Amino acid sequence: MSTQIAHVLEETRSFPPPPEFQRRARVQSREQYEEMYRRSVEDPDGFWGDIAQEFHWFKRWDRVLNPDNAPFFKWFEGGLTNISYNCLDRHLQGERRTKRAIIWEGEPGDTRTLTYEELHQEVCQFANCLKQLGLKKGDRVAIYMPMIPELPVAMLACARIGAVHSVIFGGFSANAIVDRVHDFQACMIITADGGWRRGHVVELKKAVDEALPKCPSVKNVVVVHRTAQDVTMEPGRDHWWHALMKDASPDCPAEELDAEHPLYILYTSGSTGKPKGILHTTGGYLVGTAATSKYVFDLRDEDVYWCTADIGWVTGHSYIVYGILAIGGTSLMYEGAPNHPHPGRFWEIIDKYQVNVFYTAPTAIRAFAKWGEKWPQQYSLESLRLLGTVGEPINPEAWIWYYKNIGRERCPIVDTWWQTETGMIMITTLPGAAPAKPGSAGLPFFGVDPAIVSEDGEEVDAGHSGLLVVRRPWPAMLRTLYGDDERFQEVYWSKYEQQGWYFTGDGAFRDQNGYFMIIGRIDDVINVSGHRLGTMEIESALVSSPLVAEAAVVGYPHDMKGQGICAFVSVPEGVDVHESDKEVLREHVAHEIGAIAKPDVIRFTEALPKTRSGKIMRRLLRDIAAGKDSHQDTTTLEDFSVLARLRESEES
């Protein structure tokens, strides 16, 4: 951690918005930002209420924020609305009717464009299919799909009738589907035969088939025909999307839903073995994601916007689908890998569709940098106006590479800090308002009140690191962990219970200029290629193998992924392990969780180093993992007992 702070503090470069950008931006100066910020925190109800008024409410709210039952905050209580209506129907009057809502490019190069009118029709039709299959308001639906237009159609159709969706990232395994479906008791799974990834078919229906025997709550499966390989369809249970849609009526009025009606559940890793089901609701989420889409991406009606995230993560929910469509944007979706069929694919897409705003992750930027400047150099990229990043701290070198080679030194970069839990961007310097500083997320968004505090809740001075908290509620905040109010209170609200602050789990500091810099997670969560993984989750997967007695998983600095996964594994008595067993264990983890959780490095040890009180010496393991490239490691079993004895006093 400390080296990272030193690193970012040394970064004195700062990049003011280009005058051309600034002149047309929504917020054009630090003064204007400060003024709007002041109003937003002095009168948050007025601020958020004004934004909410831009949307459609079947019935207006009685109260913007009800804090009476904190931390179970209620937003826009008494209001009736529908986010699908606000993303679609609201745009059908006037010019947006024929505007492109979604531009889609499949990995093999097939394309599709849906105007607002067409998207509306398809959503209404699919909502009717869902009803026909017996789906009702409040029912839960799992969505396990590739990045194809039917994915946002399915989400918006659920939202339209008040069904609660939970998108499961297509890279997760059958076991991960079982755990999630079981947790929220899905009665339906929407999937596809497969999706394209680097020229190969990812067989989604096959994974669903593997999961289904352990998912008794699921009564119906809807399958999109995408990759056309053979799949098994069980009559009565499995239905082809296109067959259902053939006769479906395009008339489906949106349900009038309570502002606090659940919209979706999205699982994310925490510091225990089981992922947490983050619950987002309707009205506040709409207002928060729309407001940030408007100000952070500074979107104009003619813009083409592209976020490269997968909709399986929160970034795709908020900034491919809901926030962007709520403000009538044109959202580009791409199905496949950035380097298929060549490492210039993204830049080719930007030129092809004249993308103006481009939002991606630091891990992707590091990969582009590695593939070399020659790829973006072959493209004009002149349409680009604004760049963004999200998901993990961006190292200043990657920031500068992005600025020069993609933004061509004329596009501001917004480094956006937020979480699955926050639902919306919380910290980022608005692109026309103030200079960007590489490696620093920057200033809080309107109405957001972050602070850096010590363990006991004292605010720390500028330049000192501490824990990042948020001191007042915001509209897109999570409402609870699905089915587990107690864990919700414990994880996020117990640490600063007296103050009533939300604890983010991140370490951060603030510079003299008020800019926030995020250092990283302080809990047992690691950030691998911008994706959150719990070390305990990977440990539980490992110990379910007969080759493993105990496992300790730690993160270590990784050039491309940000953090790599290193697993220290002790072997049961009498079991002989070989070098090849490392691959067996990696595959085992892929099967239990998904390929993203595969350890980069596995080290077998006689025993895990422990303190006298029996705690695994994680700090020692982190140091060992960071200090040595174990790919070249040839010893099969290591003995850490001497090191452990040397370190005991320090760790306990």
Residues that bind ligand WTA (CB under 6 A): 268, 313-315, 390-393, 415-420, 441, 504-506, 518, 520-521, 527, 532
Residue with smaller CB distance to ligand WTA, 305 or 568: 305
User: To the nearest whole angstrom, how small is the minimum distance from the Cβ of residue 314 to ligand WTA?
Assistant: 5
Q: How far apart are CA 369 and CA 398, in angstroms?
A: 7
User: Integer distance in angstroms from the first to the last C-alpha of the chain?
Assistant: 20
Q: Which residues 6+ apart lie within 8 Å of 175 measured at CB?
A: 211, 591, 592, 593
DSSP track, 15-26: BPPPHHHHHHSS
CA 352 to chain centroid, in Å, comes to 26
CA angle 65–481–388, rounded 5-degree value: 75
Q: How many degrees, rounded to 5, is the angle at CA 342 between CA 338 and CA 345? A: 45
CB of 638 to ligand WTA, least distance (A): 30
Shortest reach from residue 493's CB to ligand WTA, in Å: 16
- What's the number of CA atoms in the CB half-sphere (13 Å) around residue 241? 21
Tell me how far, at minimum, the Cβ of 536 lies from ligand WTA, in Å: 16
Q: Which is nearer to ligand WTA, 293 or 630 (CB)?
A: 293
Min CB(441)–ligand WTA separation in Å: 5
**Of 271 and 545, which CB lies nearer to ligand WTA in the complex structure?**
271
Contact predicate 412/15, CB 8 Å: yes
Closer by beta carbon to ligand WTA, 281 or else 570: 281
What is the per-residue burial (b if ≥16 Cβ within 10 Å, else e) of 611-646? beeeebbbebbeebbeeeebeeeeeeebebeebbee
Q: Look at the block and give the residue holding tokens 């839990």.
A: 421
Decide whether 393 or 564 has the Cβ nearer to ligand WTA. 393
CA distance 171 to 224: 17
What interhelical angle do 580-592 and 174-184 show, nearest 10? 30
Least Å distance, CB 521 to ligand WTA, is 5
Name the region of 505 (left: φ>0; alpha: ψ -120 to 50; beta: rest).
left
Please say which residue, 55 or 313, places its beta carbon nearer to ligand WTA.
313
What's the min distance (Å) between Cβ of 222 and ligand WTA? 27
Q: 224 or 518, CB closer to ligand WTA?
A: 518
CB of 43 to ligand WTA, least distance (A): 28
Min dist. Cβ of residue 520 to ligand WTA (A): 6
Residue with Cβ nearer ligand WTA (350 or 390): 390
Pairwise CA distance, residues 362 & 402, whole Å:
9
Sign, CA dihedral 169-170-176-182, equals positive
201 vs 595 by CB, closer to ligand WTA:
595
Please report how close the Cβ of residue 75 comes to ligand WTA at its closest, in angstroms.
Answer: 20
Reference 331, options 640, 130, 91; nearest CA is 91
CA distance 382 to 370: 22
Question: CB-wise, 105 or 415, nearer to ligand WTA?
Answer: 415
Q: What would the DSSP string read from start to end of 585-606?
A: HHHHHHHHTBGGG--SEEEEES
The distance from CA 180 to its chain's CA centroid, rounded to whole angstroms, is 17
Smallest distance from the beta carbon of 131 to ligand WTA, in angstroms? 32
**Least Å distance between CB 22 and ligand WTA?**
22
For the purposes of burial, counting CB atoms within 10 Å of the CB of 109, is it exposed (0-12), middle (13-18) or buried (19 or more)?
Answer: exposed
Question: At closest approach, how far in Å is the CB of 635 from ligand WTA?
Answer: 34
Cβ proximity of 608 and 624 under 8 Å = no
Residue 524's contacts (CB-CB under 8 Å, 6 or more residues apart) are 271, 534, 535, 536
Q: Which is nearer to ligand WTA, 125 or 166 (CB)?
A: 166
**Nearest to ligand WTA of 343, 393 (CB atom):** 393
Report the 3 state secondary structure along 385-409: CEEEEECCCCCHHHHHHHHHHCCCC
Say which DSSP state 413 is in.
Answer: E
Query: How far is it, in rounded angstroms, from Cα 362 to Cα 393?
Result: 7
Nearer CB in complex with ligand WTA: 471/647 = 471
